[in-house]
Amino acid sequence: MGEVKPIRSVLIANRGEIAVRVIRTARRMGIRTVAVHSDADAASPHVRLADEAVAIGPGPVRDSYLRGDRILDAAKASGAEAIHPGYGFLSENAAFAEQVQAAGLIWIGPPPSAIRAMGGKDAAKALMSAAGVPVTPGYLGEDQDDGRLKAEADAIGYPVLIKAVAGGGGKGMRKVWRAEDFLEALASCRREAKNSFGDARVLLETLVKSPRHIEVQVFADSQGGAVHLYERDCSLQRRHQKVIEEAPAPGLDAATRAAVCDAAVRAAKAVGYQGAGTVEFIADASEGLRPDRIWFMEMNTRLQVEHAVTEMITGLDLVEWQFRVAAGEPLPLAQDQIRLDGSAIEARLYAEDPAADFRPSIGPLDHFRLPEGVVRVETGVEQGGEISPFYDPMIAKLIAHAPTREQAAAILAKACRAVEVWPVKTNASFLARALADPDYLAARVDTGFIARHLQTLIGPHKPPPDAWQAAAQALYAASRDASPDPWSRLEGFRANGAPVLEIALQCGDQRRRVTLGRDTASAIHTLVSQGGVVAFLDGQAWRFEQARAVADDGAAAEADGTVRSPIPGLVAATPVKPGEAVVRGQTLVVIEAMKTEHSLAAPFDGVVQAVRVSAGQQVDDGAVVAIVAPMANKGGEG
């Protein structure tokens, strides 16, 4: 047995909700905490909650949270004994882990050798196959020539999945359904992989038709002990990004659970693992979950975003386990002592607009209210803060635990409907609808669930009648408070008949006259904001104001062929040139923002008149990036 040396101080090399999460456990264990932060995060909650905070650079992650040298300097300057990497950023960087250890600090993570063994998806799959862990069929070769990869994809048969060798978190993945789309998808995947991980290599896998994403939480110590903490189902995904996760996996019988969990422990032992890790499997659920239809995908050598659901069903603190194992202690419990109690479900609250193709939403959090008491809430932002374009759009996690899956889903759906955020848009209403969907409740889920139910889950684009009524009542109350003169504040007051009030409202391009009676009241929460009223209903926010006499010009921006960036970001690619003929929907410019690529497409068939940006250029929200002219008006502006 190695030396046990309790950790007394830790630097958290991360930000947001995971930094807050680690600080909470460290404080309970009496461990002094040091936060690091970019300039954009200087006023963030994790900075305030830590015992000490050190600035490490500008907002972009490449200049701050990915600067291992600055993080090590901060650890030395603050006297921290250990570094906890959280997830993302440098958490799975073997070279950084080695630098931490070389500096005489404790690395709260697996050995660098294990990170390397599992960091490359191709080598990891080969290693797992040798260890008797079933792997997904595909191409893992070293030859990365476009032609070779295309030939291998053709041989596998479509659809195929392109995956970044160094990928994770849904980044660097593309589904390809037709041979003619392969090369464009390959280029996009490589570009995202290079930007996210510094490694453009890819592998190919056969695309499972009815896939379930099952992952197993494992833990190992330095004495050779290794256990699993049961499985999670992370099948509800959008663009390979997890949205809703749960534990245990619905429909998994005892035999299949034993098979997949035992395989995960074998995987951990095969690489000499230590600490927390997640072994991810893909299951073909077309005939139910069976041991012979579940294959190894990859291993995440860190704590996962969704670790909270495992904590809820086991009653354990996984961050505490990380501290204890890193200090040299044996695992706190043996396998037969780890219980599984009830069901837990986690929903990821993202700053995005589902009605606008899930476009990331950035800006100030003038109003930020999450449900309290009924669910566990993990967040790294607060009211008065700001959602930055530099980081992942996840702003909170909501987790419900109950004796049954159906009860947990009902609790969590209600909590999502109670979310109030303004003016940043969120997916709260989308989450609530997913959790209440009959197919979800019946466990008829796979990774295509969201795509199949998309229109139902997005919900109405127009405010419901109750929101109009609540907004009118709030606007009237605000005007009554603002003026003592009833004749100046009552528009549409009827002198004869019942005492009622008519108020003309507008919400976006929608207009309506709303009638209020003497006893009109609403239970919907509203917020008076900048001359208007925001009504919060079922996780959505609608802004109303008194209707203007003249309507705004509602012509679509794309009508004249002008293409604008919907968000601030970095130009990743400009695959077309002025004078080139394009068809409606063809990609003109690719913008990278909040760790995601966004393709801006031609609004109609025509000719590219101008491309106003170039790769590597930073653009603002609303900036003109390209202009398309009808075929008859070929232009030459560059």
- Reduce the DSSP state of residue 218 to 3 states and report it: strand
Cα distance between residue 141 and residue 481, in whole Å: 72
DSSP codes of every residue in 106-145: EESSS-HHHHHHHHSHHHHHHHHHHTT--B--EE--S---
Give the Cα-Cα-Cα angle 288, 293, 294 (nearest 5 degrees): 105
DSSP codes of every residue in 383-408: TT-EE-TTS-SEEEEEEEEESSHHHH
191 catalytic? Reply is no
Cα distance between residue 610 and residue 605, in whole Å: 15
219: Cβ contacts below 8 Å, ≥ 6 apart: 226, 227, 228, 229, 275, 276, 277, 318, 321, 325, 331
Specify the residue for token string 């209903």: 537
The DSSP secondary-structure symbol of 269 reads H
Residue among 613, 610, 607 nearest 638 (CA): 610
- φ, ψ at 328 (rounded to 5°): 100, 0
Q: Pick the catalytic residue: 15, 190, 232, 302?
A: 302
The one-letter amino acid at 430:
F
Helix (H) or strand (E) holding 57: strand 52-57
Computed on alpha carbons and rounded to an integer, the radius of gyration of the chain in Å comes to 26
Burial of 445 by CB count in 10 Å (0-12 exposed, 13-18 middle, 19+ buried)?
A: buried
Q: How many CB atoms lie within 10 A of CB 441?
A: 16
Whether residue 321 contacts residue 274, with contact meaning beta carbons closer than 8 Å, is answered with: no
Whether residue 506 contacts residue 431, with contact meaning beta carbons closer than 8 Å, is answered with: no
The one-letter amino acid at 331:
L
Q: Are strands 226-238 and 211-220 parallel, antiparallel or unpaired?
A: antiparallel
Cα dihedral 401, 407, 409, 412 in deg (nearest 10) = -60
Specify the residue for token string 């997640």: 278
The DSSP secondary-structure symbol of 314 reads H
Cα dihedral 541, 547, 552, 557 in deg (nearest 10) = 10
581 DSSP β-pair partners? 607
37 DSSP β-pair partners? 55
Residue among 469, 489, 343, 467 nearest 403 (CA): 343
Q: Are strands 343-350 and 241-247 parallel, antiparallel or unpaired?
A: antiparallel
Whether residue 161 contacts residue 173, with contact meaning beta carbons closer than 8 Å, is answered with: yes
Token reading at 628 = 């398309």
Specify the residue for token string 């909470």: 24
Specify the residue for token string 């501290």: 323
Q: How many CB atoms lie within 10 A of CB 262?
A: 14
Active site residues: 302
